[in-house]
Structure formats: C-alpha cells, structure tokens
Amino acid sequence: MKITKISVYQVDLPLKEGRYSWADGKFVECFDSTVVEISTDAGVTGFGEVCPLGPFYLPAYGPGARTGIAELAPHIMGEDPTAVGRIELIMDRALLGHSYVKSALDMACWDILGKQAGLPVSQLFGGCHGEAVDLYRAISQEDPETMARKILGYRDEGYRKFQLKVGGNPDADIERIRATRKALDGGEVLVADANTGWLMHEAARVIDAVSDLDVYIEQPCKSYEECLTLRRRTARPFILDENIDSLQAFLRAFGDGAVDAINLKISKVGGLSKARRLRDLAVSLGVAMTIEDSWGGDIVTAAIAHLAHSTPARFRFSSTDFNSYVKVSTAEGAPQRVDGKMKAPQGPGLGIAPRRESLGDPVAVYD
Ligand code: MG
C-alpha cells in the first residue's frame, strides 16, 4: 500500500459556552483545527486531526500545523502508511521537533492500519479495558462563585471529575479552589490546574492555603525546576502536564519523584505512536494518566478514546470528550458522552466517518 494523496482541511470549532479561559488571561472562543485525509493506492483512506489550544498554550498554532504538514507531505508520499513506525521515523528525520505537526499524519496512518486489519485502533493498542472511560470536565476560569455553580450543571451531565482553571490572581485562586471543593461530594475529584500561570511565591501561597483540602495540583509554574521545588514542599498529589512533552521528560520527572500522575496529550508528544509508547511506559512504572489532547473535535476525541480505553483502568485518571465542548461535528461515529463516560468506537481504524459538509473543500492537496 502506498500513500498517493494528502488532503488538508481547516475547520473552525466554536465553543458552545462561548469562551474557554485559563491562566494569565488567556482564552479561546473558536478553535482552529486541522484535519488530514491520507489516500492510498489500495482505496483505503485515513483521517487525523490536530487542534492546538490557541497559539499560546504550547509552542503550537493552527496555521503552523498546516505549514508543517506541507513540509512533511513530500517525505511520506509513496510510503506505506501501514508501516506506522517507519512513517514516524521518516517524519522525525525530515522535520526536527514540531511534534504537534506530525500528530494528525500519524493518527491517519493508524486509522488506515486499523481499517486494513479490520480492527479498531484500541485493539491494535492492546485491547479495551472495562466498559467505558471516565471523563473530566474543565471549568473555564471565572469568578469563584460562577465556577462553583457550574459544577452542578456538569454533574447533571454525569461528570464526577473536575479540572479547575486557576493560575490567575492567587487570592482569587484560593477562593476558586475552596468554593469548588465545597460544592463537591466526597467521591468527586478536583484538580486545580494552573497551566504554568503562577510564579513560585504565588504557587507556594495557594498550595499552602488549600493544604487541608482534597485537591490535586497541576502544573503550577512554567519551568520543570520551579514545579519540582514546589512538589517537594507539598503533600498535595501533584500532576505535570506542559512539561511532559516527551518520553525523556517523563522519565526525568519519574526519576525525580516529581509526579503522582501525568497529563498525556497526543499532539503534545507527537502523535498516537509516541503517546502509546509513553502510555505503556507509564503503566509499567505505575503512573496514572489523564489521557487527552490539547483540543480537538470528533476525530481527536475518537483517537483519545482508543488510547484511553486500551489503557488499564487503574491508570486512567481521566480523559476528555472535547467534541462535546464545540458546536461543530466533523465526523460520524465519534464517541458520545454517556453518564460522564465515553467508549472507543467499535469500527475498524478510528471508527469514524468524516462529515464532508463540515470539512468543506481542502485548503491544500499534496499528490
Ligand atoms: Mg493541564
């Protein structure tokens, strides 16, 4: 089988809630997503998606994904997409870094391999564990009362895990965490995710002020060194996200005892191939994961579901159903949240079929 054509689509994904806000005044109202379609001489086609969380969350942005795909397309044209490991190597040799750019192409190759094998990607990744995957709901940064009140609606949707967007004014953040924890039941999980937004002294104040609460602290400061210092000063369970952008970064954090859990995002580490490798290592080392991506629509959500559902249940801290946050559906067959959980699609590959009317015409075609 050979790759004969790569079509690239740009899709706007506006948010149902209007705006998603996090640390340091950052927000997004409409996500810029990139969908790739890889065509082959065997008539099998595969789809992948990459959707950065705006241009200022990670070193990634929408037009950058499409520029990078233009750079990579000639290198994988004519190659066998079912040789996913070889495609990964070719992309890493052709373009140093820029991990997120490779994610949609890698995802589309897994979709093709699954379709060719007649198996869902979750099966290629080791098979599903349990009935469904628990989801968390991110709570956009607002005033403390609003954030605590929103818990009630999200709970009606079945969520039992909540990720509070903090990393703002430390005094307001202390109130955000205390008000939200008060609104929760004992069995419900609360993560305070600062998304690198605090300086050391601010993080130290907030973490100390909530030391009597059942709350996880996620990525308080920008650098790994700052986070490690804070981690060593607190008994709160500790999660790193932005700093865990590679297998090497994870191994360093594990070796330093810097994490109780990690946030594994597919495009942050360069695609499903690398995410699956990191996932398997984390399971071997006994580290639980939030398995998700930066953002995305139906295709990313399906990929998350395959990776998460094929992870042993104990190691699934949570996952995200991004397709429920946005107004546009780009594919049929994508996971739908039921009672705060989702399942990996059962069909071969990613188990989804694109909605052509949502993708529109390709913005670039390489053949
Ligand atoms: Mg995070």
What is the per-residue pLDDT across 320-329, written as a single tens digit (0 to 9) for each? Answer: 999 999 999 9
Nearest to 324, CA basis, from 117, 85, 153: 153
DSSP states along 18-43: S-EE-GGG-EESEEEEEEEEEEETTS
Q: Is residue 89 within 8 Å of residue 59, measured between CB atoms?
A: no
Query: Do both 92 and 127 map to the same domain?
Result: no
- What would the pLDDT profile of 92-125 be if each residue is shown by its tens digit? 999 999 999 999 999 999 999 999 999 999 999 9
279-282: long-range contacts, CB 8 A cutoff, minimum separation 24: 279/307, 279/311, 280/126, 281/247, 281/250, 281/251, 282/250, 282/315
Residue 196 Cα to ligand 1 middle (Å): 9
Mean pLDDT in residue range 247-273: 98
Residue 139 Cα to ligand 1 middle (Å): 12
* CATH code: domain of residue 232: 3.20.20.120
Mean pLDDT in residue range 162-188: 96
Query: Do both 149 and 267 map to the same domain?
Result: yes
CB atoms within 10 A of CB 175: 17
Q: How confident is the model at residue 336 (pLDDT cuts 50, 70, 90)?
A: very high
pLDDT at 224 over 90: yes
- What would the pLDDT profile of 20-48 be if each residue is shown by its tens digit? 999 989 999 999 999 999 999 999 999 99
Query: Do both 147 and 226 map to the same domain?
Result: yes
Return the bridge partners of 316, or none: 289
Tokens read off for 78: 């004519």
Q: Which residues contact 133 (CB under 8 A, 6 or more apart)?
A: 291, 305, 308, 309, 316, 319, 341, 342, 343, 344
165 is catalytic: yes
Residue 217 Cα to ligand 1 middle (Å): 10
Query: Do both 158 and 259 map to the same domain?
Result: yes
Return the bridge partners of 9, or none: 35
355-358: long-range contacts, CB 8 A cutoff, minimum separation 24: 355/329, 355/330, 355/331, 358/11, 358/328, 358/329, 358/330
Q: In this structure, which amino acid lies at residue 216?
A: Y
Residue 96 Cα to ligand 1 middle (Å): 25
Q: Is residue 65 within 8 Å of residue 313, measured between CB atoms?
A: no
Query: Do both 100 and 240 map to the same domain?
Result: no
Residue 190, CA distances (Å) to 160, 214, 273, 294 in order: 9, 7, 30, 20
CA-to-CA distance for 159 and 152, rounded, in angstroms? 10
Residue 6 Cα to ligand 1 middle (Å): 32
Q: Is residue 230 within 8 Å of residue 220, measured between CB atoms?
A: yes
Q: Give the position of tokens 């609360």.
A: 190
Residue 89 Cα to ligand 1 middle (Å): 28
Residue from 26, 102, 165, 343 carrying the catalytic annotation: 165
CA-to-CA distance for 36 and 46, rounded, in angstroms? 8
Tokens read off for 357: 């009317």
Residue 193 Cα to ligand 1 middle (Å): 6
Tokens read off for 129: 């564990």
Tokens read off for 63: 């037009």
Query: Do both 167 and 194 map to the same domain?
Result: yes
Number of domains in the chain: 2
Residue 36 Cα to ligand 1 middle (Å): 26
Identify the domain containing residue 79 by its residue range.
3-118+354-366
Q: What is the pLDDT of residue 14?
A: 98
247-255: long-range contacts, CB 8 A cutoff, minimum separation 24: 247/274, 247/277, 247/278, 247/281, 249/224, 250/278, 250/281, 250/282, 251/281, 252/224, 253/224, 253/228, 254/285, 254/287
Residue from 102, 222, 265, 268 carrying the catalytic annotation: 265
Q: What is the pLDDT of residue 186?
A: 87
Query: Do both 101 and 143 map to the same domain?
Result: no
Q: Is residue 27 within 8 Å of residue 101, measured between CB atoms?
A: no
Query: Do both 190 and 279 map to the same domain?
Result: yes
Residue 93, CA distances (Å) to 89, 188, 271 in order: 6, 45, 15
Q: How confident is the model at residue 256 (pLDDT cuts 50, 70, 90)?
A: very high
* CATH code: domain of residue 65: 3.30.390.10
Tell me which residues have their CB within 5 A of the ion that is ligand 1.
193, 241, 263
Q: Give the position of tokens 């997120």.
A: 100
Query: Do both 104 and 194 map to the same domain?
Result: no
Q: What is the pLDDT of residue 115?
A: 98
Q: What is the pLDDT of residue 196?
A: 98
Query: Do both 163 and 143 map to the same domain?
Result: yes
CA-to-CA distance for 246 and 92, rounded, in angstroms? 13
Q: What is residue 310's DSSP assignment?
A: T
Query: Do both 323 and 361 map to the same domain?
Result: no
Mean pLDDT in residue range 55-83: 97
Return the H-helix or E-strand segment holding 238.
strand 238-240
Residue 322 Cα to ligand 1 middle (Å): 14
Residue 125 Cα to ligand 1 middle (Å): 24
268 is catalytic: no
Residue 70 Cα to ligand 1 middle (Å): 29
> Alpha helix locations (H) across the chain?
62-76, 84-94, 99-117, 121-124, 144-156, 170-183, 200-209, 224-231, 247-255, 272-285, 298-309, 356-359
Residue 309 Cα to ligand 1 middle (Å): 20
Query: Do both 72 and 196 map to the same domain?
Result: no
Q: Is residue 87 within 8 Å of residue 76, measured between CB atoms?
A: yes
Residue 4 Cα to ligand 1 middle (Å): 37
CA-to-CA distance for 94 and 87, rounded, in angstroms? 10
